[in-house]
Amino acid sequence: MTSDVDTGSSFPLGATVTEEGVNFSLYTKNASRVELLFFESADADRPWRVILLDRQRHRTYHYWHAFVPQTKPGQVYGYRVHGPSDPDRGLRFDPLKVLLDPYGRAVAVPHDYDRNAASRPGDNAARAMKNVVAAPSGYDWEGDRPPRQPYARTVIYEMHLAGFTRHPSSGIAAGKRGTYAGLIEKIPYLQDLGITAVELLPVFQFDPQDCPPGRVNYWGYCPVSFFAPHLDYSSRRDPLGAIDEFRDMVKAMHRAGIEVILDVVYNHTAEGSHEGPTFCFRGLENPTYYILEPDRAKYSNYTGTGNTLNANHPVVRRLIVDSLRYWVAEMHVDGFRFDLASILARDESGQPLVNPPVLWDIESDPTLAGTKLIAEAWDAGGLYQVGSFVGDSWREWNGRFRDDVRRFLRGDDGLASAVASRLLASPDLYAHKSREPEQSVNFVTCHDGFTLNDLVSYNEKHNEANGEQNRDGANDNFSWNCGIEGPSSDPEIERLRDRQVKNFLALNLLAVGTPMLLAGDEVRRTQKGNNNAYCQDNEISWFDWSLVKKHTGLRRFVKLLLACRLDPDRDATDHNTTLIEFLDNAGIQWHGVKIDRPDWGPHSHSLAATAKAHRLGAVLHWMLNAYWEPLEFELPPAPPECQGPWRRWVDTSRESPEDICQWRCAPPVTSTHYQIEPRSMVILVLETGKRNTVTAG
């Protein structure tokens, strides 16, 4: 029955609530007929109402639209779209499949949801995800304002939202473990550690069945919606409740001074390859939303997941920007980390663009101004853009930092010069852009790969639990097990591993740039050697909170490193200092075991440097011995503006609490030389008593 349905409007896209009803609008260019379906619930096997959109009355250009009076938030809906099924032309219409609205704000999942039902011939209504009409604008933000932390004072903590509180040891009530509400209860832990921004693995609604049989997609890099928060992360179970619970979490984070950055996937969807399911885009306008091969029946696969979004098509560009605007304007998100961001630099044939329209759309959009934009500047098709990503405001995950630091601390040859560059925000990669030092997002570990504990405990990956005969995951992790593969009861092995972990943490958190820490590395969380735990929603991936007590010394080490970096007396208001200006003002002097005699040779395993830390009112002298024997380093005399002697702030060879001291309570070093133990790092400090805002760092 459609007699009570008005023509509606092509704008805005999606389901828009008014006092009189709801306007629905959908883009599809080649469809011959569109049906708007209303369901009693997500589990309904057939719609209670079917609204046939008349081609003459309900279509403007390529937009199909209708206004349905008296419809309210909470109405479950979907679409059936008729059109040619002609894969050779790239057209894959299937009128028997219930399709999601690309602009749907909420997604309902039936109890009998089945990914395969969207791949098999026939009707999948009973087992299909469906949308729910939502009116997000009614939420009370209680005066919420984004913290807007400058990058110079930002410490990013990458975490899986559910895995952070899902373990029974979390102390969270069973009904809130693994939820937005559960994370709120752990905010004091983040504050105490010194975290200023959480970077959440994907929280857009994704398909948990996009994985090998018998397992679950845990990470969530398989989106089905770019607007809806993932329902399984809500303790309320109601799709509309999930929207508000997510916002409760953001509001609570902001009250604690912590920003929320979302890991977003605009490079592919859960619809997979040509053999995959039809959830949404494939059944709406396949050649618009995806990059297709010359054989139009096949998808280009620059993502390694079966398909690639056609991000620079005008319709897809608008979808991506509208999604980002929504998460900033309505959900108060502070920034985004773009998974496989180099995909967004490809055109509809897959070729890299010099000035990709979608990236400039994102950068220049006024709603997004001031948000943090972080690129994973590579893709699975071989496009690697670290140091050359387009734009003026993007920061980049520095994969070179990760690899060079890992190899140097492992004991590889030929890396002294490279590591020196990494510790200074990689001027070989970024100085040509006249950008600030914080353009480099420094990290040693992330969700994809070994945890820090496993980096020093395993030579080889151990992914047997993933069911792919250990073929998945990276083969070369630049790791070293310190003598024994896996867990060890040998105290010498454990001491060495602790020392290596502290070396990694000190280099990562104190290097010039924006530091990122993987959740749990501060307490040696392990994945038992699994370096691709994307399908492990269990204790392999969860944060085991008993480790907080077990590794109190290591957690203290991280806290004191960050306490220095985030010293409240530190002035981080200068946003205009370029990397070159910073390096000029730091007055860096490189040394080796002898003063002013750095060893850049291929067999060098040691570095030393003296530098001014203007905003801390101090001079730092640090010495790194990645060699397997002790080395005696000559110390420089105290600079004339300082009153000696040097004080020992950090020595990673020492046991807690002597491995790090309170910044201004470090014990004096009266000798002219300092013996650095094997595979250890020492940082000495002298205060000048003066702080200024000449440089960053």
Query: What does the block give as tokens for 102?
Result: 């690309």
- The answer to whether 447 touches 531, Cβ cutoff 8 Å, is no
- The answer to whether 53 touches 36, Cβ cutoff 8 Å, is yes
For tokens 């059109």, what's the residue?
A: 83
Read off the pLDDT of each residue in 635-661 and give the average, rounded to a whole number: 92
- The answer to whether 395 touches 514, Cβ cutoff 8 Å, is yes
Q: Edge-to-edge strands of the sheet including 63-69?
A: 14-17, 21-27, 63-69, 59-60
The single-letter DSSP state of residue 512 is: B
> Of 268, 264, 223, 532, which Cα lies nearest the Cα of 375?
264
Give a yes or no: residue 492 inside a domain: yes
Residue 193 bridge partners (DSSP): none
From residue 24, give the alpha-carbon distance in Å to each of 8, 12, 221, 273, 366.
Answer: 7, 8, 28, 29, 26
CA 76/CA 47 separation, integer angstroms: 9
For tokens 């094997």, what's the residue?
A: 678
> Of 233, 261, 256, which Cα lies nearest the Cα of 144?
256
CA 71/CA 69 separation, integer angstroms: 6
**Helices 416-423, 399-410: inter-axial angle, 10-degree rounding:** 130
Pair type for strands 76-82 and 130-132:
antiparallel
Give a yes or no: residue 470 inside a domain: yes
pLDDT, position 697? 32
Give a yes or no: residue 226 inside a domain: no
DSSP string, 159-212: E-TTTTT-SGGG---GGGTTSHHHHHTTHHHHHHHT--EEEES--B-B-TT-SS
Query: What does the block give as tokens for 641?
Result: 């503006």
User: Nearest 10 degrees: CA dihedral of 217, 218, 222, 228?
Assistant: 120
Phi-psi region of 374 (alpha: psi -120 to 50; beta: other; left: phi over 0): beta
CB atoms within 10 A of CB 385: 17
pLDDT tens profile 301-360 = 999 999 999 999 999 999 999 999 999 999 999 999 999 999 999 999 999 999 999 999
User: Is the pLDDT reported for residue 478 higher than 50?
Assistant: yes
**Helices 314-329, 281-289: inter-axial angle, 10-degree rounding:** 120
User: Is the pLDDT reported for residue 573 higher than 60?
Assistant: no
Give a yes or no: residue 261 inside a domain: no
Looking at 271, 376, 537, 567, which residue is catalytic?
376
The single-letter DSSP state of residue 331 is: T
Collapsing DSSP states into helix, strand and coil, what is residue 458? coil
Q: How far is CA 345 from the centre of its chain?
A: 19
Residue 78 bridge partners (DSSP): 37
The fraction of the chain above a pLDDT of 70, given in percent, is: 97
pLDDT grade for 567, boundaries at 50, 70 and 90: low
pLDDT grade for 643, boundaries at 50, 70 and 90: confident
Read off the pLDDT of each residue in 519-535 and give the average, rounded to a whole number: 98
Q: Which residue segment(s) compose the domain that 593 sits in?
A: 428-697
pTM listed for this prediction: 0.96
Give a yes or no: residue 94 inside a domain: yes
Sorted by sequence, the CB contacts under 8 Å of residue 296 that are 6+ apart come out as 87, 88, 89, 90, 287
Give a yes or no: residue 242 inside a domain: no
pLDDT tens profile 163-182 = 999 999 999 999 999 999 99
Sorted by sequence, the CB contacts under 8 Å of residue 511 that are 6+ apart come out as 401, 422, 423, 424, 425, 442
pLDDT grade for 42, boundaries at 50, 70 and 90: very high
HSE (side-chain half, CA atoms, 13 Å) at 407: 18
pLDDT, position 607? 96
Collapsing DSSP states into helix, strand and coil, what is residue 378? strand
Domain boundary among 87, 116, 138: 138
What value, to the nearest 5°, has the Cα angle with vertex 143 and ends 140 and 146?
A: 110
Active site residue 185: no
Sorted by sequence, the CB contacts under 8 Å of residue 629 that are 6+ apart come out as 678
- The answer to whether 473 touches 544, Cβ cutoff 8 Å, is no
pLDDT, position 1? 46
For tokens 């060699």, what's the residue?
A: 627
pLDDT grade for 689, boundaries at 50, 70 and 90: low
HSE (side-chain half, CA atoms, 13 Å) at 571: 12
The single-letter DSSP state of residue 675 is: E
CA 14/CA 18 separation, integer angstroms: 13
> Of 39, 160, 152, which Cα lies nearest the Cα of 527?
160
- The answer to whether 558 touches 240, Cβ cutoff 8 Å, is no
Length of the chain: 697
> Of 430, 367, 432, which Cα lies nearest the Cα of 401?
430
User: Is the pLDDT reported for residue 416 higher than 60?
Assistant: yes
pLDDT grade for 574, boundaries at 50, 70 and 90: very low
Looking at 199, 259, 339, 454, which residue is catalytic?
339
pLDDT, position 3? 64
Read off the pLDDT of each residue in 436-449 and give the average, rounded to a whole number: 95
Give a yes or no: residue 455 inside a domain: yes
User: Is the pLDDT reported for residue 479 higher than 70?
Assistant: yes
pLDDT grade for 498, boundaries at 50, 70 and 90: very high
DSSP string, 466-501: GTSTT-SS-S------TTSSS----HHHHHHHHHHH
Domain boundary among 119, 138, 157: 138
The fraction of the chain above a pLDDT of 90, given in percent, is: 89
- Total domains in the chain come to 2
Active site residue 522: no
Collapsing DSSP states into helix, strand and coil, what is residue 343? helix
Mean pLDDT check: name the lowest of 206-210, 212-216, 624-628, 673-677: 212-216
CATH number at residue 645: 2.60.40.1180
CA 54/CA 61 separation, integer angstroms: 13
Read off the pLDDT of each residue in 533-562 and give the average, rounded to a whole number: 97
**Mean of per-residue pLDDT scores for the chain:** 94
From residue 594, give the alpha-carbon distance in Å to each of 119, 256, 620.
Answer: 67, 46, 17
The single-letter DSSP state of residue 677 is: P
pLDDT, position 665? 85
Domain boundary among 81, 108, 138: 138
pLDDT tens profile 75-131 = 999 999 999 999 999 999 999 999 999 999 999 999 999 999 999 999 999 999 999
CATH number at residue 21: 2.60.40.10
Read off the pLDDT of each residue in 460-469 and give the average, rounded to a whole number: 95
For residue 575, the one-letter residue type is: H
